[in-house]
């Protein structure tokens, strides 16, 4: 019988969400939706020392921004609630005890100080098959001594007993057969002395109880997988185990190692999905959202980091990704992050989106300038400048002159080729514009060109000064379109202002 597809994204709320984390969420989501399955959010917060206020909400906000709507989550609930591990604390201990009863885990009573001393005395100390018999644990103590310590509430942890020299294998859906030598893995703690499980125990118990069918997670978890395989075998039998897929790393632009938050700071691009303000360090980390990425472009770009549909197609909607997604096409090798390419995706998306769809995000950007404009005016502005914007934030610069007078005016660019003839041309032009009733781009262009002919000046020499009068600089869409949209009064005012400046 085929199991129902149930996948989980299981972040730890320890800070902002790295784009690799969002990609893990995305691949989980795509696989679930493609297979009519459920996409579950589970918050893995058993390590209380790493708890950061606001990080959990940030995760929900990010998923919401990206449009990755879960079917079950701490907020939504579901048949397998609670979905936050700290609220499931009481569940885990019995499994750790079952492992002890089976002889595959043990109590360890070594104090922090004893462990410290050991580490100081033995280089690269590992609590493992070689050292465990020289430590203070239920393997080295007598049954009575262990019971006594437990009865006296002596602090302890429960560790897995990693067998020596066994090969642990499983089939990864992306990597195929993978093998590990158990001797290289230490006796990981499963239950801590605050009775909280560690990640290793909690992940197995919860994947089992929540009936997870497939696990998609980052490649950095591959070294932990043999521990998880053993725990599955000991606790629930391998036949119930989900299938594993370890997603390729997202690499630094030069391919040398995993992309980190620091790389983004060093190279000047975002690595987190949204802005993150660390409440402990007050550090602010910039996000894709606030840099001006559309969620559609961000998600599209992430999907292409480690996957393609086998063709040259690069632009996909979320719905198309769901339809096309296949694990066979996820690469094994890490994917280099390229910020220029990320921006290219955004540019393509801005061009692809309808003006109607762009209105809301652009309106938010323009709030920096004004909110005093009509819907019709905004529509026209977007149509004129959208092709020139790579990031949403570019609307600020590309469109600001539609809403307010240019702050600076590149007078030097006009002065370079200014003469009496041009001055008279613009004075005439101003007069004719003022008298014009039919204020359209075509009409203005006609007047402008006819006048140029009368004054015997090449039109090319007049366009730049005119543009600078309206925009302040040498950029922007067709200049008569600008004049038409900002209206007669504003056009005339800006021309007069610059002509005045030219007199000085
Ligand atoms: N809590 C782990 C993390 O923060 C999840 C690993 C997993 O999906 O098994 O990445």
236 and 259 fall within a common domain: no
Q: Which of 89, 118, 261, 380 is catalytic?
A: 261
| Amino acid 2: pLDDT | 62
Residues with CB under 6 A from ligand 1: 10-12, 44, 199, 203, 217, 221
The residues, any chain, with a CB within 8 Å of residue 165's CB and separated by 6 or more, are: 181, 182, 183
Q: Which ligand 1 atom sits closest to the C-alpha of 221?
A: 6
331 and 455 fall within a common domain: no
3 in any annotated domain:
yes
253 and 230 fall within a common domain: no
Give the span between the Cα atoms of 165 and 222, in whole angstroms.
19
- Kindly report the CATH number assigned to the domain that includes residue 339: 3.40.50.620
CA torsion through residues 88, 60, 212, 244, sign: negative
Cα separation values, 332 from 19, 206, 245, 250, 305, Å: 18, 27, 10, 11, 11
Give the span between the Cα atoms of 273 and 485, in whole angstroms.
36
133 and 1 fall within a common domain: no
Domain that residue 451 falls in: 359-503
- Ligand 1: residue of 9, 10, 223, 232 to mutate (most ligand atoms within 8 A of CB) is 10
Query: Is the backbone of residue 250 left (phi > 0), alpha (psi -120 to 50) or beta?
Result: beta
288 and 234 fall within a common domain: no
318 in any annotated domain:
yes
Task: Give per-residue burial for 5-28: e unless 16+ CB within 10 Å, then b.
Answer: bbbbbbbbbebbbbbbbbbbbbbb
Give the span between the Cα atoms of 358 and 296, in whole angstroms.
12
Burial of 167 per CB tally in 10 Å (0-12, 13-18, 19+) = exposed
Domain finish residue from 320, 352, 384: 352
- Kindly report the CATH number assigned to the domain that includes residue 135: 3.90.800.10
Torsion of CA 40, 17, 316, 242, to 10 degrees: -40
Residue 402 C-alpha to ligand 1 middle, in angstroms? Answer: 48
Domain finish residue from 211, 226, 247: 247
| Amino acid 341: pLDDT | 98
Q: Catalytic annotation on 261?
A: yes
How many domains does one find in the chain?
3
Q: For 170, which DSSP code?
A: E
- Kindly report the CATH number assigned to the domain that includes residue 417: 1.10.10.350
CA torsion through residues 20, 24, 25, 26, sign: positive
Residue 212 C-alpha to ligand 1 middle, in angstroms? Answer: 14
The residues, any chain, with a CB within 8 Å of residue 27's CB and separated by 6 or more, are: 216, 245, 247, 307, 325, 330
pLDDT (tens place) for every residue of the chain, 504 residues total: 467 999 999 999 999 999 999 999 999 999 999 999 999 999 999 998 888 999 999 999 999 999 999 999 999 999 999 999 999 999 999 999 999 999 999 999 999 999 999 999 999 999 999 999 999 999 999 999 999 999 999 999 999 999 999 999 999 999 999 999 999 999 999 999 999 999 999 999 999 999 999 999 999 999 999 999 999 999 999 999 999 999 999 999 999 999 999 999 999 999 999 999 999 999 999 999 999 999 999 999 999 999 999 999 999 999 999 999 999 999 999 999 999 999 999 999 999 999 999 999 999 999 989 999 999 999 999 999 999 999 999 999 999 999 999 999 999 999 999 999 999 999 999 999 999 999 999 999 999 999 999 999 999 999 999 999 999 999 999 999 999 999 999 999 999 999 999 988
Residue 199 C-alpha to ligand 1 middle, in angstroms? Answer: 8
82 in any annotated domain:
no
Give the span between the Cα atoms of 182 and 93, in whole angstroms.
24
Q: At what angle do helices 339-352 and 295-303 cross, to 10 degrees?
A: 130
**Beta-carbon count within 10 A of 222 CB:** 17
Give the span between the Cα atoms of 17 and 9, in whole angstroms.
12
Query: Is the backbone of residue 211 left (phi > 0), alpha (psi -120 to 50) or beta?
Result: left
Output the residue whose Cα is nearest ligand 1's atom 2.
11
Residue 453, both tokens: 């002919």
470 and 451 fall within a common domain: yes
């Amino acid at each position: 019988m085929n199991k129902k597809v149930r996948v989980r994204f299981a972040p730890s709320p320890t800070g902002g969400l790295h784009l690799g984390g969002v990609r893990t969420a995305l691949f989980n989501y795509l696989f679930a939706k493609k297979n009519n399955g459920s996409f579950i959010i589970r918050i893995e917060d058993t390590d209380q020392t790493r708890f950061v206020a606001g990080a959990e909400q940030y995760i929900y906000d990010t998923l919401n921004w990206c449009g990755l709507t879960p079917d079950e989550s701490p907020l939504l609930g579901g048949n397998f609630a609670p979905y936050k591990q700290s609220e499931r604390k009481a569940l885990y201990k019995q499994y750790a005890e079952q492992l002890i009863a089976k002889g595959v885990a043990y109590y360890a009573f070594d104090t922090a100080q004893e462990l410290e001393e050991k580490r100081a005395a033995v280089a690269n100390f590992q609590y493992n098959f070689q050292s465990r018999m020289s430590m203070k644990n239920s393997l080295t103590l007598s049954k009575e001594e262990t019971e006594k310590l437990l009865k006296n509430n002596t602090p302890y942890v429960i560790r897995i007993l990693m067998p020596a020299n066994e090969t642990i294998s499983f089939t990864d859906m992306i990597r195929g057969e993978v093998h590990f030598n158990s001797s290289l893995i230490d006796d990981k703690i499963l239950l801590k002395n605050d009775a909280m499980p560690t990640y290793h125990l909690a992940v197995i118990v919860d994947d089992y109880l929540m009936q997870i069918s497939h696990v998609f997670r980052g490649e950095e978890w591959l070294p932990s997988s043999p521990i998880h395989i053993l725990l599955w075998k000991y606790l629930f039998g391998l036949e119930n185990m989900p299938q594993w897929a370890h997603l390729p790393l997202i690499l630094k632009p030069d391919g040398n190692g995993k992309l980190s938050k620091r790389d983004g700071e060093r190279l000047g691009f975002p690595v987190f999905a949204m802005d993150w303000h660390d409440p402990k360090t007050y550090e602010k980390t910039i996000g894709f959202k606030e840099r001006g990425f559309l969620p559609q472009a961000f998600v599209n770009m992430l999907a292409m980091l480690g996957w393609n549909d086998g063709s040259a197609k690069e632009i996909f909607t979320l719905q198309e990704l769901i339809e096309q997604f296949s694990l066979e096409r996820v690469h094994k090798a890490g994917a280099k992050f390229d910020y220029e390419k990320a921006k290219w995706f955004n540019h393509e998306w801005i061009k692809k989106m309808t003006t109607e769809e762009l209105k809301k995000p652009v309106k938010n950007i323009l709030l920096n300038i004004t909110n005093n404009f009509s819907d019709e005016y905004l529509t026209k502005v977007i149509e004129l400048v959208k092709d020139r914007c790579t990031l949403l934030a570019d609307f600020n610069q590309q469109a600001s002159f539609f809403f307010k007078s240019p702050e600076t005016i590149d007078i030097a660019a006009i002065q370079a080729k200014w003469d009496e003839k041009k001055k008279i041309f613009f004075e005439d032009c101003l007069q004719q514009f003022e008298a014009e009733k039919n204020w359209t781009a075509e009409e203005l262009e006609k007047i402008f060109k006819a006048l140029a002919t009368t004054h015997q000046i090449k039109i090319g020499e007049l366009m730049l000064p005119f543009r600078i009068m309206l925009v302040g600089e040498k950029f922007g869409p067709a200049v008569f379109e600008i004049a038409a949209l900002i209206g007669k009064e504003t056009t005339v005012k800006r021309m007069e202002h610059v002509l005045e400046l030219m007199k000085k």
